[in-house]
Every structure is written in C-alpha cells, then in structure tokens.
Structure 1
Amino acid sequence: MSEASAPHAADRRELTAAQRNAVAELLRVSPVADELGRRFVRAGHELHLVGGSVRDALLGRLGDDLDFCTDAHPDETLRVLKGWAESIWETGREFGTIGAQRDGLRLEITTFRAESYDQVSRNPVVVYGTSLDEDLKRRDFTINAMAVSLPEHRFTDPHGGLDDISARMIRTPSTPGESFGDDPLRMLRAARFAAQLRFAVHPDVHRAMSEMSADLDRITAERIRDEFTKLLCGADPITGLRLLVDTGLAERFLPELTGLKLEIDEHAQHKDVYEHTLTVVENAVSYEEEGCDFILRMAALMHDVGKPATKAAAPDGRVSFHHHEVVGARLTKARMKAMRYPKEVIAKVTALVALHLRFYGYGRGEWTDSAVRRYVADAGDLLPRLHKLTRSDCTTRNRRKAAQLAADYDALEDRIARIAAEEDLARVRPDLDGNAIMELLGVPPGPVVGRAWKHLKEQRLEHGPLDRDAAEVELLRWARAEGLIS
C-alpha cells in the first residue's frame, strides 16, 4: 500500500505501523476485494475501499462488512456484480448503493456522491459525484475520509485521517460548521465515535456541537435513536454521554439525563445524581458477559430519572426521592416511546427501572419467602438483568456499607436459588389450570376463570406450591366467598 497524498506531520514510525496493520487486515479480504476491483476496472470503472472499512483496517479491527465507492452508477454496478456475487440487494438504490455478498463478506458499493441536504428535514438529497476526492470531502470525519484503490492498493488520505487515527482524534474534513450544517446528525455521530473508538473530539468540533446543538431538532427520531443506541453500546459510553450533556445535545432528545445534574444524591457520596448514574452505567457494562446488553445499559442510564420530580427536603436537611422508581418508569416509557424504540424493548427497560429499588428492604430481614417469590415473579425473565442492575446501583464509597450490600444481595440470590430448586420459581403459576377451574366450578370460559386463576396465583406466591387436593379446597373456598357456589 502506498500513499497518494502525504499525511500531515506525525510520527513516521507510528504511521508505518498503522499502514502495516491495514495491509495485514486487507490481505484477509483482498482476494474478494481485489477480484471485485479487477471486474470494475475491466468494465471501465474505478473501485475504492472507503470509510469505516479503511478506518477499521488501520485500527486492526476490520470486520466482514466492506464499504466501497465507485464512479459507476447503480445500473452499471449491477452489471458488474451479475454472475459474480452470490446474492444482490437494492434496498439502498435510491442513495446510489447496491449490496452484495461473496465468500461470507457483505459488500456495499456506492456511487461517488456530492450530496446536499434538505434544509427542513436535513435528509440527504443524493447527487452523484464524479471523483474520489469529491466523495471523500463530503464525508463526516477525517477518519472516515480515506480510501484504498483496488486492485492496486493505492492509499488516499487528503484530509489527514491517518494522522487523526494516530492521535485518536475526531475532526471534520471541512469546517465543523459546514459539516454539521450539511447534516446535524453528525454531531451525535461524533459523540458515538468517541464512545465506540475511545477517541477525543477536537476542540473546534466540540465548540460547533455546542453552538449548533439546536439543529439536531431537525433530525428524525429514528435516526437519533439509531445513533444513540450505538453510542450507548460503545466501548466507552461514559465519554459519549458526557459529550451529549456538555454540548447540550442531550437536552434536545434526552433532557432527563441533563436534569440529573441538578439533583443531589441522598447518600451524599457523589457530587450529584448525574455522576452516580454514569457510575451505574459503567458498573452495568462490567457485568455484561458477552457483547452489549442495551436493555441493561439503558435501564442503568434511566433508573434515577424520576428523582428531579420527587425531590423533597426534610426539616433536618436530608433529601429524599420517595417513589422515584415509579415516576422514573413512567418517564422512561414516555421518552423511549418518543425515540421510537420497539414496544418490547420499552417494556423491559421500564420494568427494570420500576423494580430497581425493590431489593433495598431485604437487608433488614423483613422479607418472607412470599416476598422472594413475588420479587422473582415480578421480574420474570428480567431477573438476571435485575440482579446486575441492583448490584450496579451500589456506588457508595463506604467500604463497610458496600460490603454489607453485596453480602445481602448474595444472600438474596442464594435464597432465590434455594426456593427455586424446591418450587420451580421460573414458572410461578396457579396449582390448577383453566380447564381444572372450569370443571370444578362448572363455569364456561370467561372472566370468572380469570379471577379464579389470579386468586390461585396469589395463593401460590404467598404460600408456595399446593398439592392438588389443597388447591381444589382453596378454589372452592374462594368460590363460596365470591357467591359463585353455595
């Protein structure tokens, strides 16, 4: 690989090492990429590996999704791919993108672009470009504005992206104002890349993000949601979240996060609830076993958002936030709905927020086996996440108190395991099913069966499993009390 344009001043040994990493990564996919490049050249067109693929190759983390750009228009790209690609899709055709698969690699080939943006919706209006330099200039950040031409492996870096990778810095090819003016979502993408790559944001970029944060209002909720999800699932979400708050971007779509800065934590162990929340998110990440658990991270982020609305000061000066979990669950549901998250995701995050304080009475020795059963039943399949969220919420710097909380939760988990082994807590259901209820009471399907089922479930939670005879006696006793039988 050779350089078509010299990078800006930087340590030459570091750049050479970075290029060696890129070559090693590219060799892994080069049979397919080079073969595709030769096909485009034979058809009279250019083909370049670009964007995140080049960036990730330089970082030694190239995946199986490769991005290319070309001077060929979509119809011409389709002709090149026909008979070579194992499968082809055209879902991105309106943006000049044709997708294909070959040897386990997903390829996206996009015609050179010189797009402009609708000044109201800020959605891209695609205009095909005529050169690689033009295409690279319109990209969001310098680290995404590099290319490797195929099949010759010529490296092009007109905006110093290699320098910025070496410096772990996020800059824009044009001025930040021009770049964010083209597409305000790029401000959120800057925070997302900071979280994903552990890169710093250049001061000029940070300044523009602050000055132009209100422009994010022109972006659809779905686009914001997708970028925010990637940010929260980044390797360092705390850096990304701080950027959102510090620049005012969070205020545009997640004001509950900014609001936490004003609320003093009742434990007085943190500067404010905002800092406590970031620590809880960081703790939650440490409990993940494999990959990002967005539901756990989002619950950790939102678990205390009900505190501003429930803050109360006692005569002795102590601050409390009674029932903030209830208010927080309601706010979380409303916010995630506004961000267009799927209903099932909203339901799970909201349930965790509502349940996150339930544990804090356990250490006083007040929980009966019935309370443990209800804890497990209310959590359902969220119980493993609730365990992690509750442990993450312990951020006290008092070592003795932290050790006691950890021991209490260990004891609760042991108790759950013991009762589960005896009673199958994973399936807490009435000891009689609907058919048995109808047969014993002589009633058809309907509301009575549902009420009876609910009553038997409450008995199951309160007293544990009943044998068949005892369950039938309890059902008949309830039916008499309800006036259903004599």
Structure 2
Amino acid sequence: MTESTPYAVQRREPTEAQRRAVAELITVPPLADELGRRFAAAGHELYLVGGSVRDALLRRPGALLAGGTALTDQDLDFATSAHPDQTLEILTGWAETTWTTGITFGTIGAMRRGLRIEITTYRAEAYDRVTRNPIVRYGTSLDDDLVRRDFTVNAMAFSVPGHEFADPYGGLVDLAAKQLRTPGRPEESFADDPLRMLRAARFAAQLGFAVDPAVRAAMTAMAGDLGRITAERIRDELSKLMIGADPVAGLRLLVDTGLAETFLPELPALRMQIDEHAQHKDVYEHTLTVVQNAVRLESDGPDLILRLAALLHDIGKPATKAVGPDGGVSFHHHEVVGARLTRQRMRALKYPKETIAQVSRLVALHLRFYGYGRGEWTDSAVRRYVTDAAELLPRLNKLVRSDCTTRNRRKAAALAADYQALEERIARIQAEEDLARVRPDLDGNAIMKLLGIPPGPAVGAAWKYLKELRLERGPLPPDEAEAELFRWARDNGLLPPEN
C-alpha cells in the first residue's frame, strides 16, 4: 500500500478582525473550557472542530451561539495534540465514563453531565485507496489535521480555553458563499474516502450549499469509487440527506453526478423519454415534486418513512410502461412492482426490516385512493383501506395528497376535494366502529366454544373469515355473527349440514 500524495492546498486564513468577530460570535459551553484547561495543564492543545464550529457560524438551532446556553443536545468533537493514552489519563477523574471503540483511529469518547464528547488526536494519515480505512499516522499540528477533512467549512477550529479561531483553508469565506469546497484537490480527498461525495450531496440537502464546480467534476468522474463503501454507510448518508431541509437538492446532485447509479439506479431510471404526444409526465421530475410536497405536509419534523415512500413510490413505472394502439401510455400495476423493487433496494442498502415493511406498504397502497371520486367506494372499501394502512394511515394520507402534481387546476381541485371527502368518511366510520381495532365479532375463545373444537388452524381460518365479514358489513349483532360462523363451519365440513 502506498501513501497518498500530499495535498496541493491554498491557504486562505482569516484576517485578525475576522478572528475577533468569530470569537465574539461563538459561546463555548463551560464544560468545554473546563476540559481545555485540563489539557493545557498537561501541556497539550485542544480545539473544538467540525460541525459544532460550522453550525455556530451558521447560527443553526442548538449551536454554540453568542448569548446561548450550554449544549445539552449536541455532541462535541475535539482535536488534540495529545495521543490517546494521554487523553485517557487527562479524562480520568473528570469524565463520568469513557469508551475506546475508536482508539484505533485515535479517538476517545467520554460523557460528562449529559454531554457526549469525542476527542481525536491530530491526524495526518494516508489511505490505502482500496477501502476507506486510513493508515493512521498522528500529526504534529492542527494544520495536519484540518487539511485532511472533507470540506473547508468543516476544517475550522476553535481553541479551548483560549478561544482562538483557526481557519487555514478558507472555510469562513466558503461558509459565507454557501459553497462546498475541499481543502485540497477534490480528487485526492475523494480517492481517500469516496463517502465524502455522498456527504457533499447530504450537505447540499441539509445546509442549502452549492457544490464548487471542481468538486462536482470530481464527483462525476469518480462516482464508481463509491463501490468501495459499505451499504450501511451509504444508507446512513442517504437517510441524513432525505431528512435534510431540502432533500431534492441532494437528490438532484446524486443523479446529475452519476452517484445514484451506483446505489439507487431506480431513481435515474425514472428519467424516461416522454412520448411525442406527452401522454405521460416526466416521472423523475414528478417524483422530486412529490418529495417536496411530502416535506411541506409534515407537521412534526422530518419523517424518513414518508420521504422514502415519496421517493420510491413510482419506481415500478419503467418496468410497467406500455403504449396502447391509440398512443396512450399506461403503467398498470406499477404500485405492485414498485413495492417489490422497494423491498429489494432497501434490503440491499441494509435498512431495518420494519422500515422496509412500512415504506414498501406505502408504495403498494399509494394508488388505492384513485377511483374514489367516481362513487365506487362502499363503506366496506373504506374499512379495508383503513385496515390495510393500519398505523400508516396518516402517512398514506400525506403520500396520496403529495402525489397530486397535476398543473390542471380543475383536476387538482377535484382530487383534493375527493380526498377531503374520503378523510371525512374515514373519520365518521372510525367514530362509529373504531376501525383502528377492527376484530371479528367473535374471538377465538368464542369460536372454539361454539364449534366445540380445540385450538388449531380451523380456529384461525374461522377468525379470518369473520374478520373479512366484519370489514364487509360492519359490526354484526351476536346472533347474526354466530349464525354466520355456523354457516361457514358447515360449508367447511366442521359441522354436519342442516337437514
């Protein structure tokens, strides 16, 4: 393995006036200064680094802002000249607990007064360019450490307890310009760690930053290098992107640079050629609009399940596209195919089983509503809609509303009115019948007692039949439910036929 070529960097340090302005802007939690004094007493430097410094300058909620209070909900990252064993010694008697799971990479974790911190020795590592694992080599200065970071806006530091601002690579300038740029050549940075390309898309979604042209060019040229990254890490970056303030900005960057092709090819595949008569929408642009709509409908913070369902709801269309004799385009059963493809893709990305089940069920159900406005739905159909959606019904409501992207105002108004009517009908039936807990009118014990049978498959089959009957006809009086059970039992040979 060979060490990577030293970065060609351009230093762009802040002026003294800028340093003073930053020092006045950032309020450091007393605990951080307390820790800094312990390191200084031992003859070592300690700097706040990374996201906490960036977010303070962006004045993001919960950041280290002037006049703010000590952090209680944000981790703090530090860089230090101390080696890991020295860091552990300094933390002894101060930290309530420590952990060394990252010690191979020079990181020691600690907790004190509810604040989680990570302290990493200055690093000047090289990378093997096969995996994303560094050949760990400790640096001798803060500059050694900062030049190896992903973007200049994350390569700023703030000393504790001295409160001196360090920004050798122009992070402050890039922050003001809302620009993502690497401290050195982006090709070098991404060759070291291809995951940084996904982080660029994530920061575009989270922070609303534009990507420097040189960075975008490197992402496009090196998209294939993402194959070195594990599915779990890709999944985590995608999830963080999806819950960002503007996930569409990040998604566009993934598609435009070719990165999406390596781990989510179903998304760029939605850029299907529109037929000459414009018989179907641009499915890719429609999908991004649905994601935006879903974000607007959220009422209690980012909802990853809803946003993933919005992203994947139409991925079955390319496989089901058909052109009829009249030139009309159809996508019959694309929701069924899409649910299957959703399960496959999310499994490949190592999402949890419950997340996969919820997202794929939303994809499968997202077309169920259409046709309601034609007056075809009975109360039975409404019960089945609610029962099939179960706990996902609020999300399904939002997904269906988000899926209406027509520019025809009359059509859009009609769809909105239809769905409003359906929601009101659901509310009425729920109030009357408690659909959230639909059960047969007879439970398993009653079934066994009435039929004189022991526990077994026949009880489950009878229970399922009675539940279907409950969905079809609503609550039944006890005598009618018992009569239906006996009729089913006779039809299935559990009771002798009536004379």
Q: Would the TM-score normalized by the shorter structure come out above 0.5?
A: yes
- Aligned to 1:398, which of 394, 408, 427? 408
Q: Aligned pair in 2 of structure 1 residues 279, 265: CA closer, same or farther (>3 Å)? A: farther
Contact 1:50 1:147 in 2 (8 A): yes
Q: How does 1:27-176 map to 2 (within 5 A)?
A: 27=28, 29=29, 31-61=30-60, 62=63, 64-176=74-186
Q: Aligned pair in 2 of structure 1 residues 210, 293: CA closer, same or farther (>3 Å)? A: same
Q: What residue is the counterpart of 2:218 in the other structure?
A: 208
Contact 1:22 1:57 in 2 (8 A): no
Secondary structure of the 2:98 match is strand
Report the CA distance between 1:444 and its aligned residue. Answer: 1.5
Report the CA distance between 1:445 and its aligned residue. Answer: 1.4
1:234 aligns with 2:244: yes
Contact 2:205 2:249 in 1 (8 A): yes
Q: Aligned pair in 2 of structure 1 residues 266, 480: CA closer, same or farther (>3 Å)? A: farther
Q: Aligned pair in 2 of structure 1 residues 355, 267: CA closer, same or farther (>3 Å)? A: farther
- Aligned to 2:344, which of 311, 325, 334? 334
Q: Aligned pair in 2 of structure 1 residues 115, 442: CA closer, same or farther (>3 Å)? A: farther
Secondary structure of the 1:255 match is coil
Secondary structure of the 2:271 match is helix
Q: What residue is the counterpart of 2:462 in the other structure?
A: 452
Q: Aligned pair in 2 of structure 1 residues 322, 361: CA closer, same or farther (>3 Å)? A: same
Q: What residue is the counterpart of 1:478 in the other structure?
A: 488
1:26 aligns with 2:36: no
Q: What residue is the counterpart of 1:352 in the other structure?
A: 362
Secondary structure of the 2:423 match is helix
Q: What residue is the counterpart of 2:268 in the other structure?
A: 258
The whole-number CA distance in structure 1 between the counterparts of 2:432 and 2:276 is 39
Report the CA distance between 1:22 and its aligned residue. Answer: 6.4
Q: Aligned pair in 2 of structure 1 residues 269, 229: CA closer, same or farther (>3 Å)? A: farther
Contact 1:266 1:318 in 2 (8 A): no
Report the CA distance between 1:314 and its aligned residue. Answer: 1.1
Report the CA distance between 1:84 and its aligned residue. Answer: 1.4
Contact 1:70 1:110 in 2 (8 A): yes
- Aligned to 1:7, which of 13, 27, 50? 13
Secondary structure of the 2:369 match is helix
- Aligned to 2:316, which of 282, 289, 306? 306
Opposite residue 42 of structure 2, the aligned amino acid is: A
- Deviation string 1:254-290 (CA, Å, 9 cap, x unpaired) is 0000000115499959861000000000000011112
Report the CA distance between 1:78 and its aligned residue. Answer: 1.5
Q: Aligned pair in 2 of structure 1 residues 267, 341: CA closer, same or farther (>3 Å)? A: farther
- Deviation string 1:13-60 (CA, Å, 9 cap, x unpaired) is 9x58xx757644424x1x111111000011121101011111111111
- Aligned to 1:246, which of 246, 252, 256? 256
Report the CA distance between 1:120 and its aligned residue. Answer: 2.4
The whole-number CA distance in structure 2 between the counterparts of 1:265 and 1:369 is 39
Contact 2:110 2:116 in 1 (8 A): yes
Task: Give aligned-pair identity as a percent.
Answer: 72
Contact 2:123 2:136 in 1 (8 A): yes
Q: Aligned pair in 2 of structure 1 residues 395, 265: CA closer, same or farther (>3 Å)? A: farther
Q: How does 1:179-218 map to 2 (within 5 A)?
A: 179-218=189-228
Q: What residue is the counterpart of 2:301 in the other structure?
A: 291
Q: Aligned pair in 2 of structure 1 residues 21, 72: CA closer, same or farther (>3 Å)? A: closer
Q: How does 1:355-434 map to 2 (within 5 A)?
A: 355-434=365-444
Unpaired runs of 5+ residues, structure 1, are none
Report the CA distance between 1:474 and its aligned residue. Answer: 1.0
Q: Aligned pair in 2 of structure 1 residues 204, 457: CA closer, same or farther (>3 Å)? A: same
Contact 2:280 2:329 in 1 (8 A): no
Report the CA distance between 1:134 and its aligned residue. Answer: 0.3
1:272 aligns with 2:272: no
The whole-number CA distance in structure 1 between the counterparts of 2:464 and 2:48 is 61
Q: Aligned pair in 2 of structure 1 residues 423, 271: CA closer, same or farther (>3 Å)? A: closer
Q: Aligned pair in 2 of structure 1 residues 307, 270: CA closer, same or farther (>3 Å)? A: closer
- Deviation string 1:214-257 (CA, Å, 9 cap, x unpaired) is 11011110111111111111111111000000000000000000
Which stretch of the first structure deviates more once superposed, 202-211 or 88-97?
Answer: 88-97
Which stretch of the first structure deviates more once superposed, 109-118 or 447-456?
Answer: 109-118
Report the CA distance between 1:305 and its aligned residue. Answer: 0.3
Unpaired runs of 5+ residues, structure 2, are 1-10, 64-72
- Say what the alpha-carbon RMSD is for the aligned residues: 1.9
Opposite residue 181 of structure 1, the aligned amino acid is: A
- Deviation string 1:191-228 (CA, Å, 9 cap, x unpaired) is 11111100000000000000000110111101111111
- Relative to total residues, which structure has the larger helix share, 1 or 2? 1
- Deviation string 1:130-170 (CA, Å, 9 cap, x unpaired) is 21110001101000111111111111111000000000000
The whole-number CA distance in structure 2 between the counterparts of 1:265 and 1:383 is 35
Q: Aligned pair in 2 of structure 1 residues 270, 108: CA closer, same or farther (>3 Å)? A: farther
Report the CA distance between 1:466 and its aligned residue. Answer: 1.3
The whole-number CA distance in structure 2 between the counterparts of 1:150 and 1:83 is 19
Report the CA distance between 1:90 and its aligned residue. Answer: 2.4
Secondary structure of the 1:158 match is coil
Output the TM-score relative to the length of structure 2. 0.92
Q: What residue is the counterpart of 2:70 in the other structure?
A: none
The whole-number CA distance in structure 2 between the counterparts of 1:310 and 1:36 is 61
Report the CA distance between 1:383 and its aligned residue. Answer: 0.2
The whole-number CA distance in structure 2 between the counterparts of 1:88 and 1:334 is 39
Opposite residue 340 of structure 1, the aligned amino acid is: K
Contact 2:45 2:80 in 1 (8 A): yes
Opposite residue 334 of structure 1, the aligned amino acid is: Q
Q: Aligned pair in 2 of structure 1 residues 465, 272: CA closer, same or farther (>3 Å)? A: same
1:221 aligns with 2:231: yes
Opposite residue 34 of structure 1, the aligned amino acid is: D
Q: Aligned pair in 2 of structure 1 residues 21, 377: CA closer, same or farther (>3 Å)? A: farther
Report the CA distance between 1:405 and its aligned residue. Answer: 0.4
Report the CA distance between 1:92 and its aligned residue. Answer: 2.2
The whole-number CA distance in structure 1 between the counterparts of 2:44 and 2:483 is 82
The whole-number CA distance in structure 2 between the counterparts of 1:295 and 1:200 is 27
Opposite residue 449 of structure 1, the aligned amino acid is: V
